[in-house]
Structure 1
Amino acid sequence: MKTITNCVEDILISQPYLEEALSKKIINYSALAEELQRPISKMLRKDVKAGAIMMALRRYKLPTHISHSIKMKKLLQNLGDITVRSNLTDFTIKNSETLINNHLKVLEALKKQPNQFYTFTRGIHESNMILSSSLSSSISKFLKDEICIAKQDNLSAITINLPKGNSKVSGLYYHFFKRLAWEGVALYEVISTTNEFTVLVEDDYVDKAFTAMKRFKS
């Protein structure tokens, strides 16, 4: 049977910003309890007193990734260089039996221009190819027999180098996504390798996104 504590946990887990505000003690427990009184009463199908909700809030155990641990602080302080690449185009292509062979043709063409930006990600049903817009027309020829789900120009990639051991610290990407969301940055794509984190944004957002990423190093 669901309890008030269970309801409080469900709400806080679904709203990480609210959860973090609680960890920093910048939310009034009494005011929040009154705010949650109606949705929790609806979840339990009975009237719930604000006092009981406030008690559940005070007893709520915050996840370890919410607190600013020593490991996380050290990791953020040792973030590497930030690189911005503009004039990019994103192809979203439906996976097919011929895509691998056509992708090989793209790679052969890229050998002659090694300084151009290029990434490829294969998903279950579709693949993404991101490259310098100057290559867009020539690459389109290799993909003419494929089903192009979407094509987006005027994109920029912002890449930040991550220190070694970043995969051992939980919550790192949470900090990136939180900061970008607070700055109102809409992400077009996210690309990551073991030691690199890249966000792809439309050109209108590139200044905000760069400023948000740079703040991690300050």
Structure 2
Amino acid sequence: MKTVSNCVEDILITQPYLEEALSRNIINFSALAIELTEPISKMLKKDVKPGAIMMALRRYNPPTTLTNSVKMKKVMQNLGDITVRSNLTDFTVKNSDTIIDNHAKILDRINQEPKLFYTFTRGIHESNLIVSSSLDAFVKECLGNETFLASQSGLSAICVNLPEDNSKIAGLYYHFFKRLAWEGIVLYEVISTTNEFTILVEDEFVDKAFAAIKKVKA
């Protein structure tokens, strides 16, 4: 049988900003309990008093990864270099039987100019290619028989080198997304390899995004 505490936990899990505010004791428990009275009453299909909700809020223990734990602080301080690359274009095309062969032509060109920026991601239904804008015409020529779903120029990539054990650290990416969201930065794409985390933003956001990520590292 579902309890008030279960409902409180369900709501907080879906609202990590609220959950963090509770863990830092910077939120009014009484006001939040009143705010949650109606949704929790609907979840339990019976009237619930704010007092019971407030008690559940005070007893709630957020995951340690959302608090400023010593381990997480150490990880953030050990983040590697932050690299910015500008003048990028993002192409999204529908997957087809010919896309791999056409993509191979682009790879041949990239091998001749290793300083160019390049990433390729193949999804279930579409593929995404991000390259230096100097290759725009060449990419369009190589993918001329493909179905383009989107194309966006004027983009910049911010790449962060992560600690080698980052895949074992819960909540690591949350800290990046939280800071970027608080700063009102719209992410165009997110790219991740084992030890690198890259965000793609429109040029107008790059300075603000770089500063936000630097704050995460500080």
Q: TM-score per shorter chain, which class? A: over 0.9
Residue 125 of structure 2: aligned partner:
125
In 1, Cα distance between the equivalents of 2:140 and 2:200? 20
- Structure 1: state its 5+ residue gaps: none
In 2, Cα distance between the equivalents of 1:172 and 1:63? 13
1:71, 1:169 within 8 Å by CA — same for their partners in 2? no
Residue 209 of structure 1: aligned partner:
209
In 2, Cα distance between the equivalents of 1:70 and 1:203? 35
Deviation at 1:45, TM superposition (A): 2.5
Deviation per residue, 1:179-218 (Å, 9 max, x gap):
0000000000000111111000011111110110111232
1:7, 1:40 within 8 Å by CA — same for their partners in 2? yes
Aligned pairs, how many?
218
In 2, Cα distance between the equivalents of 1:2 and 1:19? 20
Deviation at 1:42, TM superposition (A): 2.3
Residue 114 of structure 2: aligned partner:
114
Structure 2: which amino acid aligns with 1:43? M
Deviation at 1:114, TM superposition (A): 1.0
2:92, 2:149 within 8 Å by CA — same for their partners in 1? yes
Residue 44 of structure 1: aligned partner:
44
2:179, 2:216 within 8 Å by CA — same for their partners in 1? no
Q: RMSD value over aligned CA atoms?
A: 1.0
Structure 2: which amino acid aligns with 1:177? F
Matched, 1:7 2:26: no
Residue 58 of structure 1: aligned partner:
58
2:175, 2:216 within 8 Å by CA — same for their partners in 1? no
Deviation at 1:121, TM superposition (A): 0.6
Deviation at 1:54, TM superposition (A): 0.8
In 1, Cα distance between the equivalents of 2:72 and 2:186? 25
In 1, Cα distance between the equivalents of 2:165 and 2:72? 11
In 1, Cα distance between the equivalents of 2:195 and 2:44? 45
Q: Secondary structure at the match of 1:65?
A: helix
Q: Secondary structure at the match of 2:27?
A: coil
In 2, Cα distance between the equivalents of 1:195 and 1:121? 17
In 1, Cα distance between the equivalents of 2:75 and 2:217? 10
In 2, Cα distance between the equivalents of 1:187 and 1:120? 17
Deviation at 1:43, TM superposition (A): 2.2
Identity value in percent = 69
Paired residues for 1:134-153 under 5 Å: 134-153=134-153
User: TM-score scaled by structure 2?
Assistant: 0.97
In 2, Cα distance between the equivalents of 1:193 and 1:2? 40
Deviation per residue, 1:107-160 (Å, 9 max, x gap):
011122111100001111111000000100011111001111000111000011
Paired residues for 1:60-99 under 5 Å: 60-99=60-99
Structure 2: which amino acid aligns with 1:202? E
Q: Secondary structure at the match of 1:128?
A: strand
Q: Secondary structure at the match of 1:180?
A: helix
1:154, 1:203 within 8 Å by CA — same for their partners in 2? yes
In 1, Cα distance between the equivalents of 2:177 and 2:146? 33
Q: Secondary structure at the match of 1:151?
A: strand
2:93, 2:149 within 8 Å by CA — same for their partners in 1? yes
